Structure 1
Amino acid sequence: MSFLASLPKVPDPVKKIPPPGFLKREDNLFTRKSRDVISLFRNLPTAYLYQLLGSVLILIFYLGLLKTSFFVRFENVIYDSFFRLRPSLASHPSVVYIQIAEDSIQDIGRWPWPRHYHAVMTHILSEWQAKAIVFDMLFTEPSTEFDDGALEEAMATSQSPVYLPVLLENRKGEEVWVHSLPRFESHAKGVGHVNGVPDSDGVIRRIHPYLQSESEIFPHLALRLAYDYAGLKLPPEKKLPFPRDSEGNVMVNYPGKWVQTFNHISYRDLLKSFQLIREGKPPIISPEVIKGKICLIGLTATGLWDIKANPIEAVYPAIGVNGTVIQNSLQNQFISPANYALNAICLAVIGMVAIFCFHPFRNFVSFLAGSALALGWGLTAYFFFAWHGRWLYVFHPILLILTLFIFTAIYNYTIGKRERTHLFKLATRDGLTGLFVIRYFREILNKAVQDSHIQKQPLSLLILDIDDFKKINDTYGHLAGDKVLKEVSHIIHSCSRSKRPFTQTDYVARYGGEEFMVMLRGAAITESAFKIANRIRKKVEDTAIKWEHHSLRFTVSIGIASLGPEEALPDPMVSRADEALYRAKREGKNRVCLERLSLHPFPHPSVDQIPPAA
């Protein structure tokens, strides 16, 4: 009794319409509609929309990051580099430094000096009509009565106003104002704090205009001096006309390096000049240099504690900070930092321009566009800094440009790879079964034959055909036939060795309508190939699929051939496998037949076919 004779009869007319709801089932992977599903990334407008969305999210993240101090250290590095690149500013002629440097310490003696030296200096500056005398040092402890009395008397009788600093220090967890002795401070026209605001790297970039602790509040000493010099009343903190940062600090605009700015006078030379004038000799320093000037007296010798770091130099005397603040105050020359809103607007505009540049991503062209944008923004920020004293963030925008470039490159690479993978799959895979198409399979087979011929490795080929497949289509319809094809291809693939190393991987292809090919690497015809073919045949024979109210069973016939020792092309092997398949069909179907002609060093089995089970 034949296989088809056992199939249940279907009443006329033949029903080829699928059951209700069949096209909506999730496992319906063989319909034309599901085979035409296009990957999300194949839709280029959609892909660009997702790229734009990702870029905008990155921009929003950076706008939030702008509110934090996460990258401020890097911004400070660029800020400092702008100072070093910028030409030096002209120094205010009214500021004179009387510096206690190494030459003065060498001649006068070890620091600290007896206070009568400062008394003499006060007398000299008063006699030479200095506009103001500023001691950038504290006299906190009593000395000898001679020294303290001399300094007190000099300050009390000075025709030039004397200014003294105060310092806010942290002592045992408490903030304490440190003053000079009352006998000195009572004769000072003004006092002010000299606390800097060192950043995390120790660089002094800004100062507190006012500093308060408990009930005491003091302006910065340099601000007090500047307003007194200009004959103006120092306004309260909220009414100061200077630009400030988000914490209310004033950013110091250093004019240049220490040795290249302001007028520097040696403490020692000034004392000698006074003595030379008394002796009727020409002085080293003329009194005209001092007349009408703000004279700041302070330490500049290296190795002493009063040395700071600023954006231009790692070693900068603290007295230089005070002189610079005086100049900035008199000329309204402080650095104006951009607030969050302005930095955010700049960041958003740069981000949108970068997104526009990277949207049609073209590798090198996009890289050049991003580099030009980053360089252009850096030059723009430098221009505003050097010529207008405006500080705009640079690192955040450049990092945003780099991030957007990397994101766009990775994104385009990913969707490009997916697109290529998808197109490769469309070109090499059968839309119904998911197996390789015969055109691509031939390329693989040709390469495998060459490798096997060179390496003398066995290679076998199976050709399978579903028995009486046309009658299944005619009886139950093409959708049922498609389901049978899917099931058979699944069985063949599950029985092949697809998870082995590449050189031992089996390849399965759809040869024609209901025919399939299996290439078995490293499989001899009498060993692995025969076992695999019989396993496929048996598994297909034992499989049944549900269709409407029927259980469909089907079988396959298989022909096997193997590459001959002298063969370098696959065509003879394919022809022998095809001949073996047709022999299996003629001899009853549902069986495995080997090629008849032995081209191999091993003998064929005595029986070259497996009959169907009883």
Structure 2
Amino acid sequence: MKYPVLKIDPKILAIVLIILCVLLISWFNHLGVFDVQEMRAYDWLMRMRPIETPHPEIVIIEISDDTLGNLGQWPISRDYHAALLKVLSEAGARVVVMDLLLSEPDTADAVLSQAMLASGNVYLPYAFRIEKRGGEFVAAGVLAGISAGIVSAVSGAGHINVIVDPDGKVRRLPLLLRHRKKDVVALGVLAAAARMGYDAHDIRVDERGIARLGNRLLVPLDREGAIWVNYPGPWTKTFRHYSYFDILKAHADKKKGLRPRFDTSVLKDKICFVGLTAAGTSDLRANPFDPVYPMVGVHASICDSVLRNAFIKRLSLLFRSLIDSGFFLAGIKICLAFSPVAAFFACIALAVIWLGMSWISFSFWGFLGISWCLFG
């Protein structure tokens, strides 16, 4: 007995296979099957593009080795912080972001509180214990808050939590962390909002996962509610860096009638990020550029992204899946149509085209990734 042979139009079969391929790749992309490869692609693309020029108002005031060598081991007296705020206020600094955990009560809190109130533009951090719930990061408890003696004097507070990937690098951070029925915004975003005349209440995320600042579009968040950090470049080649100690000494020299080596007028109208950068301290992690990168630079980079509208944007899942599928199927077609040697070189050429597309896309439109090209 002969069974009838089912004849399928090759064109229909090809269309069905393409649809199945797109659906499968979309599912893999949604599940994050190639997240590790995406991280490596992000690192490579960050290093390959030209170093960006950060927003001219952002400066970093470093509590580095020279500061601790002159003022004592960490933590230094909060009297110094009060003195710094006075100098910055007199210099005309626009926003002061102290990326320092001042959670424990201190005898100098009254002096520091007065300096904060006089400045009227000081922002401090919270640090939370974070965990994933429902696929997003949430605050599961406070690791370090703000001392009761100074909390009422700050102009605002944001979180400084970052997402440390399995390889130890910091590439993302949550935009918002829910704590006690309130959303705590990332410190760098809060600083940029303050510079633009907004506050934390003006930052919201719509039902599509797109963050907005007032009526201004910020960036689509990833599936975990996080922002990819757009580092302008390596630590030593971006942002203007000033020494915490040099600023204090310049002020002291000026009061004594001496000619200071540091001109505090350069701080006028600046967004000053004050952070710990001394070697061997805890606020240092790896990023795509540096094996040791001060975390104050992460928050400065996020602030820079908001002010320049220069976020790392992920292209839509559908668009990435269509591009992935096209190259994946092209790779299969090459392997079936050519001899092994010819197919090898053709696939290398295809990979080069993909890498070029990824670099151009990353530089001008959004993060495409490279994993499916290599897989194909």
TM range (shorter): 0.7 to 0.9
Contact 2:58 2:271 in 1 (8 A): yes
Determine the C-alpha separation between the residues in 2 that align with 1:67 and 1:297.
Answer: 38
Q: Which residue of 2 aligns with 1:446?
A: none
Alpha-carbon offset, residue 74 of structure 1: 1.6
Distance 1:63 1:307, change over 3 A: same
Q: Residue 253 in 1 paired to residue 230 in 2?
A: yes
After superposition, the C-alpha distances for 1:123-150 in whole angstroms (9 at most, x for unaligned) are 1111111101211112111222xx2222
Contact 2:110 2:149 in 1 (8 A): no
Q: Residue 203 in 1 paired to residue 165 in 2?
A: no
Determine the C-alpha separation between the residues in 2 that align with 1:72 and 1:292.
Answer: 40
Compare CA radii of gyration and give the structure with the larger one.
1
**Paired letter, 1:82:** L
Q: Which residue of 1 aligns with 2:136?
A: none
Alpha-carbon offset, residue 60 of structure 1: 6.2
Determine the C-alpha separation between the residues in 1 that align with 2:21 and 2:143.
Answer: 47
Q: Which residue of 2 aligns with 1:66?
A: 29
Distance 1:211 1:170, change over 3 A: closer
Q: Which residue of 2 aligns with 1:236?
A: 204
Equivalent residue of 1:236, what SS?
strand
Find 1:317's aligned residue among 276, 290, 294. 294
Q: Which residue of 2 aligns with 1:95?
A: 58
More strand as a share of residues: 2
Q: Residue 393 in 1 paired to residue 359 in 2?
A: no
Alpha-carbon offset, residue 214 of structure 1: 3.3
Contact 1:169 1:178 in 2 (8 A): no
Alpha-carbon offset, residue 265 of structure 1: 0.4
Distance 1:246 1:170, change over 3 A: closer
Determine the C-alpha separation between the residues in 1 that align with 2:150 and 2:28.
Answer: 50
The TM-score with structure 1 as length reference comes to: 0.54
Q: Which residue of 2 aligns with 1:165?
A: 125
Distance 1:371 1:270, change over 3 A: same
Find 2:101's aligned residue among 113, 138, 144. 138
Unaligned runs of 5+ in 2: 2-7, 132-138
Contact 1:168 1:195 in 2 (8 A): yes
Contact 1:333 1:389 in 2 (8 A): no
Alpha-carbon offset, residue 317 of structure 1: 0.7
Alpha-carbon offset, residue 389 of structure 1: 5.0
Moved more, 58-67 or 302-311: 58-67
Alpha-carbon offset, residue 216 of structure 1: 3.1
How many residues align? The count is 349
**Paired letter, 2:115:** A
Alpha-carbon offset, residue 102 of structure 1: 0.7
Q: Which residue of 2 aligns with 1:86?
A: 49
Determine the C-alpha separation between the residues in 2 that align with 1:64 and 1:135.
Answer: 42
Equivalent residue of 1:201, what SS?
coil
Contact 2:170 2:285 in 1 (8 A): yes
Determine the C-alpha separation between the residues in 1 that align with 2:99 and 2:270.
Answer: 16
After superposition, the C-alpha distances for 1:529-576 in whole angstroms (9 at most, x for unaligned) are xxxxxxxxxxxxxxxxxxxxxxxxxxxxxxxxxxxxxxxxxxxxxxxx
Unaligned runs of 5+ in 1: 1-23, 25-45, 401-614
Determine the C-alpha separation between the residues in 2 that align with 1:333 and 1:389.
Answer: 10
After superposition, the C-alpha distances for 1:98-157 in whole angstroms (9 at most, x for unaligned) are 10001111111111111111111111111111101211112111222xx22221221122
Question: Which structure ranks higher in relative contact order (CA pairs < 8 Å, sequence separation ≥ 6)?
Answer: 2
Alpha-carbon offset, residue 301 of structure 1: 0.9
Distance 1:394 1:185, change over 3 A: same
Equivalent residue of 2:125, what SS?
strand
After superposition, the C-alpha distances for 1:16-56 in whole angstroms (9 at most, x for unaligned) are xxxxxxxx9xxxxxxxxxxxxxxxxxxxxx9x99x989986
Determine the C-alpha separation between the residues in 1 that align with 2:22 and 2:173.
Answer: 33
Q: Which residue of 2 aligns with 1:155?
A: 116
Q: Which residue of 2 aligns with 1:124?
A: 87
Q: Which residue of 2 aligns with 1:601?
A: none
Give the alignment's Cα RMSD to 1 decimal: 2.6
Alpha-carbon offset, residue 177 of structure 1: 6.1
Q: Which residue of 1 aligns with 2:156?
A: 190
After superposition, the C-alpha distances for 1:483-529 in whole angstroms (9 at most, x for unaligned) are xxxxxxxxxxxxxxxxxxxxxxxxxxxxxxxxxxxxxxxxxxxxxxx
